[in-house]
Amino acid sequence: MRLTGKKAFVTAAGQGIGRAIALAYAREGAAVTATDVDGAKVADIGGTALDVTDKAALQSAVRAAAPDILVNCAGVVHAGSVLEATDDDLDFAFALNVRAQFHSMQAALPGMVERGGGAIVNIASVCSSLLSAPNRFVYGTTKASVIAMTKSVAKDFVTQGIRANAICPGTVDSPSLHERLRATGDYDAALSAFIARQPMGRIGTPEEIAALAVYLGSEESGFTTGQAHIIDGGWANG
């Protein structure tokens, strides 16, 4: 098992990519602290309720867990162009997608430095600085920031045994994806449009993203840091 003896902390582990990562990490031997704003969603995997926008709660939970691997997964998708985005939309998305990752890294890093190593895995998106998708102005702006934060942390802590990488998924089958498809008013047409932009002709699975998260959390990726890892069924390949 690739994560035996490691302690991992995962946010938004209640469903979708976060849950798949928490389960994969446990299968690989890690002791996982699984958290989600909805505690009921992580109860069956021994998790606890945690709202990552609550800075004090987030930082004290991260410090208590003293993780070797920190996975920042919580995120929200805002739908709309620049003209449909409000200040509140931008503030909320930055609080959840960016500031929470900033706060959890701040809490995790001193312990990682003390112990001489650690791995940070931040969930960004291929929709970021890498490519844009229609009606993802707020979302792409925040996910570009995730990549920039990840690179900065990787740069500053590279000599201290700490690696930081971002995962940039394309469209992945998760509960919130289905909500977004329903919200368009024509679920089937929206799903077809999402699939049509996938060169592989399908969307991804949370387990496929989790497999990359296992690699980036483990020593197998010991020579990899500061990168935005695209996993998108060929979408960004044009």
End-to-end Cα, the chain, rounded Å: 36
| Residue 14: how many other CB atoms lie within 10 Å | 25
Strands 31-36 and 118-123: unpaired
Which of 3, 10, 12, 98 touches ligand NAD (CB under 6 A)? 12
Q: How far is the CB of 150 from ligand NAD (least distance, A)?
A: 13
- Rg of the chain over Cα atoms, rounded to whole angstroms, equals 17
Q: How far is the CB of 46 from ligand NAD (least distance, A)?
A: 16
Q: Among residues 119 and 213, whose Cβ is nearest to ligand NAD? A: 213
Number of shown-chain residues binding ligand NAD (CB under 6 A): 29
Buried b or exposed e, range 148-185, using 16+ CB within 10 angstroms? bbbbebbeebeeeebbbbbbbbbbbebeebeebbeeee
Q: How far is the CB of 50 from ligand NAD (least distance, A)?
A: 6
State the DSSP H helix or E strand holding residue 196, giving kind and residue range, or none if neither.
helix 187-196
The yes or no reply on residue 128 touching ligand NAD (CB under 6 A) is: no
Q: Which stretch binds ligand NAD (CB under 6 A): 35-43, 130-138, 155-163, 184-192?
A: 35-43
Which of 2, 15, 79, 207 touches ligand NAD (CB under 6 A)? 15
Residue 23 to residue 27: CA distance in whole angstroms: 6
Q: Among residues 15 and 184, whose Cβ is nearest to ligand NAD? A: 15
Interface with ligand NAD by CB under 6 A: which residues?
A: 11-12, 14-18, 36-38, 41, 50-53, 73-75, 96, 123, 125, 169, 171-172, 174-177, 206
